[in-house]
Amino acid sequence: MKRTSRDIRTANRYEVLRQIIATSPTSRQELAAATGLSLATVATLVGELLDLGMITEVGFEDSAGGRPRGLVAVNASGGALIGVDIAETYVHVELFDLALNVLARADEDMRPGESRPEQVVSHVAAAVGSVVAQAGIEGARVLGVGVSVPGQVDRDTGISEYAPNWDWHDVPLLDLLAEHIAYPLYLDNPLRACAVAELWFGAARGRGDAVVVNLGTGVGAGLVLGGGLHRGVSNSAGEWGHTTLVLDGRLCHCGNHGCVETYVGAPGIMQHLRELSPGSTLLHPEDQTATIDALAHAVTANDPVAVKVVRDTARYLAAGIADLVNLFNPEVVVLSSWVAATLGEPLLAEVREAVARHALRRPLAATEIVLSPIPTDPVSLGAATFALEGALQSVGQRTARRTAPARSRTAPPS
């Protein structure tokens, strides 16, 4: 999309709040220096955030002579944000204060086959109710609920257009959720949730161009370009999992052959383990998490099969990451989501070595490859960030806050 002056104002608002969250307390002068915005622009944006109650004045900086500078800090108790991570096997929900500290968590397991939209919605509603109750906050203080669901989503209409692992087509997920949840709702998918989490709070913060590689059951690459999330013309950019790595290779559930995801997504890794060692005790056929955990432990113990599976996975992954390095020439590639977190440093070491063999020298020299530094679930953090962005986008049009893209009903919180 072309950027309008309104987009730029919104992006500046994000940038200033991001900086305040990272460095509270801070002064308008420091914010101007850190963001490259003029002091007048910063003062206007700080005024808006003060009006919203998202930040607060916290006194004055010591100054060696000269006029003392007012300090602002994030107002942690100025509101609550909820992030919902719907995965193929679980629903994980976290409630955050405005400094993005986790105040409450709830998990719901989904049994294999439990994949009807109504079943998923009922798990989400239960978990959201649970975190609000645990945190003991008034419903009115919840600024919004961000929901991440795998696959392609239309975030304006709140429709899950295509969720390949469940074979969902055009499910009106936000309307279904709004029957149970009375807060403003924001829908998007895990690859973009992970990217936004890194952009606000992780390894992409302050970077112009970054690629956040999301390794879970599904696989994607969230694109941070020019300091903002690149969504593409219909919010489906980043489908790196469905780019071809092996022409005429493994059949993918998307209908294509040889997609990156079929080799480096959790089911692809399990398939590789099964092919290498059919009776392996590492393999838990119905449980991806248990299998990847077992692999990670076995690698630490130098188990040869596990070492080979991780090395081969890293090789596939590296060929795909080298493609991203050559195409985007980013400052940083971040490995995120649960498979990356579980396989950790051994995977990272193999990936770095193999990317160096595949990528062109010039973009390679400009790129570092890191594991996500976010200690909690990046998907629910990113989903909560969508709700935060939604609240910030509505500045200056506060009467419209409860209309699209946020959705809510007027009923009291469930």
Which residues bind to a second copy, rule: CB under 8 A?
A: 1-5, 8, 36-38, 152, 154, 161-162, 207-209, 221, 223, 225-227, 230-240, 242-247, 249, 254, 256, 316, 319-320, 322-323, 326-331, 357-358, 360-363, 365-367
Q: How far is the CB of 6 from a second copy (least distance, A)?
A: 9
Q: How far is the CB of 277 from a second copy (least distance, A)?
A: 22
Q: How far is the CB of 245 from a second copy (least distance, A)?
A: 6
Q: At residue 149, what are phi and psi to the nearest 5 degrees?
A: -130, 135
Tokens 């594991």, residue located: 371
Kindly tell me which of 284 and 311 has the beta carbon lying closer to a second copy.
Answer: 311
d(CA 137, CA 61): 33
Q: How far is the CB of 71 from a second copy (least distance, A)?
A: 25
Kindly tell me which of 358 and 401 has the beta carbon lying closer to a second copy.
Answer: 358
* Token digits of residue 219: 């696989």
Distances (CA, A) of 292 to 217, 251, 268: 11, 22, 11
**Sequence letter at residue 228:** G
The half-sphere exposure of 70 on its side-chain side, counting CA atoms within 13 A, is 10
Kindly tell me which of 50 and 364 has the beta carbon lying closer to a second copy.
Answer: 364
Q: How far is the CB of 229 from a second copy (least distance, A)?
A: 11
Kindly tell me which of 249 and 346 has the beta carbon lying closer to a second copy.
Answer: 249
d(CA 370, CA 211): 11
Task: Give the residue among 164, 146, 163 at the shortest CA–CA distance from 155.
Answer: 146
Q: Provide the edge-to-edge strand list for the sheet that holds 159-163.
A: 152-154, 159-163, 168-171
Q: How far is the CB of 324 from a second copy (least distance, A)?
A: 8
Kindly tell me which of 9 and 401 has the beta carbon lying closer to a second copy.
Answer: 9
Q: How far is the CB of 176 from a second copy (least distance, A)?
A: 20
Kindly tell me which of 106 and 252 has the beta carbon lying closer to a second copy.
Answer: 252
* Token digits of residue 17: 């709040």
d(CA 255, CA 174): 27
Q: How far is the CB of 340 from a second copy (least distance, A)?
A: 19
d(CA 202, CA 197): 6
Q: How far is the CB of 216 from a second copy (least distance, A)?
A: 18
Q: Burial, 111: exposed, middle or buried (Cβ in 10 Å; 0-12, 13-18, 19+)?
A: exposed
Kindly tell me which of 8 and 251 has the beta carbon lying closer to a second copy.
Answer: 8
263: helix, strand or coil: helix
As a three-state string, the secondary structure of 204-238 is CCCCCCEEEEEECCCEEEEEEECCEECCCCCCCCC
As a three-state string, the secondary structure of 300-348 is HCCCHHHHHHHHHHHHHHHHHHHHHHHHHCCCEEEEECHHHHHHHHHHH
Positive or negative, the CA dihedral 376, 210, 87, 410 is positive
10 Å Cβ neighbour count for 125? 19
Kindly tell me which of 238 and 382 has the beta carbon lying closer to a second copy.
Answer: 238
Kindly tell me which of 357 and 398 has the beta carbon lying closer to a second copy.
Answer: 357
Q: How far is the CB of 213 from a second copy (least distance, A)?
A: 12
Residues 251, 235: contact at Cβ < 8 Å?
no
Kindly tell me which of 262 and 380 has the beta carbon lying closer to a second copy.
Answer: 262
Kindly tell me which of 110 and 254 has the beta carbon lying closer to a second copy.
Answer: 254
How many degrees, rounded to 5, is the angle at CA 81 between CA 380 and CA 58? 125
Q: How far is the CB of 25 from a second copy (least distance, A)?
A: 24
